[in-house]
Amino acid sequence: MIAEIGLFSLILALLVALMLATVPLAGLYLKREAWMESARTYAGLQFLFVSIAYFCLTFCFLNDDFSVVYVVSNSSVLLPWFYKLCAVWGGHEGSMLLWVAILSFWMILVGYLSSSLDKEMRTRVLVVLGWLSIGFILFLLTTSNPFLRQFQVLNTQGRDLNPLLQDPGFLFHPPMLYMGYVGFSVAFAFAIAALWAGKVESSWSKWTRPWTLAAWCCLTAGITLGSWWAYRELGWGGWWFWDPVENASFMPWLVGTALLHSLAVTEQRQQFKAWTMLLAIAAFSLSLIGTFLVRSGVLTSVHAFAVDPQRGLFILAFLLMVIGGSLLLFLFRAQTLQTGTSPSPVSRESALLLNNVFLVVIMLTVLMGTVYPLLVEGLGLGKLSVGAPYFNAVFVPLMIPMLLIMGIGIHLKWNRDGWKAVYKRLNWTALLSLVVPVVVLWLTSSQFDGSALMGLILAFWVILSTFNAVIRRIKERGLDGVGQAYWGMVVAHCGVAASVIGIAVSTAYGIQDDVQMAPGTHVSLAGYQIDFMNQSDLVGPNYKGARAEFKISYHDKTSLIYPEKRVYSIGQMAMTESAIDVTPFRDIYIALGEPLADNSWSVRLYYKPFVRWIWGGGFLILAGGFLALTDRRYYRSRTAVAVRAQELEA
């Protein structure tokens, strides 16, 4: 009965989405304000019905309703209850229901938190989101019904959730990732609404930027959590594998970053309108492309779902309609987006545009490396694998000039500046950025590494130039004159620098050692003594295995960690649970391999200096985004926004 209620709620949500996509639309053309206002009500009703469907599916999982095909495929009677919550989105059908639920959540936020937004603009935005909802709910009901029943229950135990996903990180990683993916639909809807109206007013970027920033923050959190989860759970000590689905989340993040900076120019200088519109369309389009790659079965990945071709064809058709239609509208309205002025080559606008170009080029190289093997195989030319060597070879050379421009751009004035003035502001910063990393490496490492030095130089350049800019701004405007958005930029840029330090140092000076160890033996790693103390049997709620105890000693300091080797009861899948001794400046990472003769084990050891700075930097970037999101200028009344727009135009 509960499953039927969930299915009926989804059908009602589809009907409400149809009303949302048509009734307010008619109100726009017939000038019926009540019909336009109904968009909010329909958005609220859609959220209600989708939420009921989601909670019904959750109830089925918590109560082991194995008459539901999706539940029996992704859960078991032995699975702990909190992992049953994860299992709701652990497979294809549930993850698409989560997608629709998050889309409905964004819609209700737009409907009820946009009171200062022009009524017609808000209506257009919600109508666009309504049409998107129709596509996704139809996809759920026709190809991916999570409430499908089986009349005869043959499996009373359940097939269990994939052991890779039985990790606390999975409680947060997919929802945050989807919040970012789907959140870009709001920026997309704002862009389509403006193009549809045939005018991009000066206040448009002010309306769009906080929604884009919120989605970008969520995607940043999702990617950072995913990297941390992979590092802990997969047992190979890496934090980024250039997996196709990792790339599918990274590409919209890159374009979303470019969009945020482009919106800043459009807001301040009324320039780059066409470019900004194109980026808004591209950010959500790349989210849809990522969905197609994951759901269509065209790639193999630890993240991808095995699905039938019907789903892939549906998503491909939807993809072509959304992207093709939006690009046609963009081309049709392109003339209305002309600004008539070009920025000076030496100006903040030009620096932001140049960084945007680098971000988009990086995205295109990642897209090429992800899609090219699929094209080769699709054309019958054989199988081709594009891995880390390609991505690292193209990514690093593009990041170097981009980081250099980051340090320069925040010192440039709007409209026009001079190289001599910029040199005076940055000469000591540049010198310190070159000298300090050399001294740091000379004092802390006996081994010189050119890539580590380059990474540290770039990181110090970003940090020192950012601090320099902050000091100058406080001197010019006073502490009260520095807005939240500016502080957010400062924190986020420092986060980028921290991640660069973590990547450069951990890559250059990390150590891996594969050894055979038995209880009572020890080895040395990077000056640390690692003792295999003992092992014991392990019994969990849905697994059995072995648990080892290792002591890590450095001078007079010791710590104990406990890696595990698990075999899950249902499916008999073996899993390695790594153990990590953590400090702010290094990780000692131990993973058990296979048991060997004489009670010994193959053991993989890692020494990872500064690896935590990668995720620390990610969360600083996230904190900077949320700090910028609290800037008061995004929450002024409509009148204040209009007055500010007139000031900018003057």
User: Which residues, 6 or more positions from 432, have their beta carbon under 8 angstroms from its beta carbon?
Assistant: 460, 464
Under 8 Å between Cβ of 468 and 411: yes
Three-class SS of 10-62:
HHHHHHHHHHHHHHHHHHHHHCCHHHHHHHHHHHHHHHHHHHHHHHHHHHHHH
Q: How many Cα atoms are found within 13 Å in the side-chain-facing hemisphere of 537?
A: 2
Percent of the chain with pLDDT over 90: 67
Please give the C-alpha separations between residue 50 and each of 56, 61, 346, 353, 625, in angstroms, as whole numbers: 10, 17, 51, 40, 29
Instruction: Compute the distance between CA of residue 495 and CA of residue 616 in angstroms, rounded to an integer.
Output: 7
pLDDT digits (tens, 9 = 90+) for 17-65: 999 999 999 999 998 999 999 999 999 999 999 999 999 999 999 999 9
pLDDT at 486 over 60: yes
Q: Nearest 5°: CA angle at 540, between 536 and 544?
A: 60
Instruction: Compute the distance between CA of residue 246 and CA of residue 300 in angstroms, rounded to an integer.
Output: 12
pLDDT digits (tens, 9 = 90+) for 561-619: 999 999 999 988 999 999 999 999 999 999 999 999 888 999 999 999 999 999 999 99
Q: Which amino acid is at 552?
A: I
The pLDDT of residue 645: 44
- Both tokens assigned to 216: 């970008």
Largest Cα–Cα distance of the chain, in whole Å?
A: 83
Q: How many Cα atoms are found within 13 Å in the side-chain-facing hemisphere of 568?
A: 22
pLDDT at 306 over 60: no
Instruction: Compute the distance between CA of residue 158 and CA of residue 145 in angstroms, rounded to an integer.
Output: 18
Residue with tokens 């959590």: 225
The pLDDT of residue 631: 85
56-71 core/surface letters (b: 16 or more CB in 10 A; e: else)? bbbebbeebbbebbbb
Q: At 340, is the pLDDT very low, low, confident or very high (cuts 50, 70, 90)?
A: low
Q: Poorest-confidence range of 79-83, 210-214, 264-268, 292-296?
A: 292-296
Instruction: Compute the distance between CA of residue 183 and CA of residue 98 in angstroms, rounded to an integer.
Output: 13
Instruction: Compute the distance between CA of residue 28 and CA of residue 422 in angstroms, rounded to an integer.
Output: 50
Q: At 203, is the pLDDT very low, low, confident or very high (cuts 50, 70, 90)?
A: confident
Q: At 201, is the pLDDT very low, low, confident or very high (cuts 50, 70, 90)?
A: confident
pLDDT at 303 over 70: no
Q: How many Cα atoms are found within 13 Å in the side-chain-facing hemisphere of 212?
A: 32
Under 8 Å between Cβ of 614 and 239: yes
Counting every residue, how long is the chain? 650
pLDDT digits (tens, 9 = 90+) for 426-455: 899 999 999 999 999 998 888 888 999 999
Q: Which amino acid is at 395?
A: F
pLDDT at 297 over 60: no
Instruction: Compute the distance between CA of residue 241 and CA of residue 247 in angstroms, rounded to an integer.
Output: 9
Closest to 386 in 3D by CA, of 303, 283, 300: 300
Under 8 Å between Cβ of 571 and 160: yes
**For residue 517, which phi and psi values (nearest 5 degrees)?**
-135, 150
Instruction: Compute the distance between CA of residue 82 and CA of residue 98 in angstroms, rounded to an integer.
Output: 17
Instruction: Compute the distance between CA of residue 222 and CA of residue 253 in angstroms, rounded to an integer.
Output: 10
- E strand spans, 381-497: none
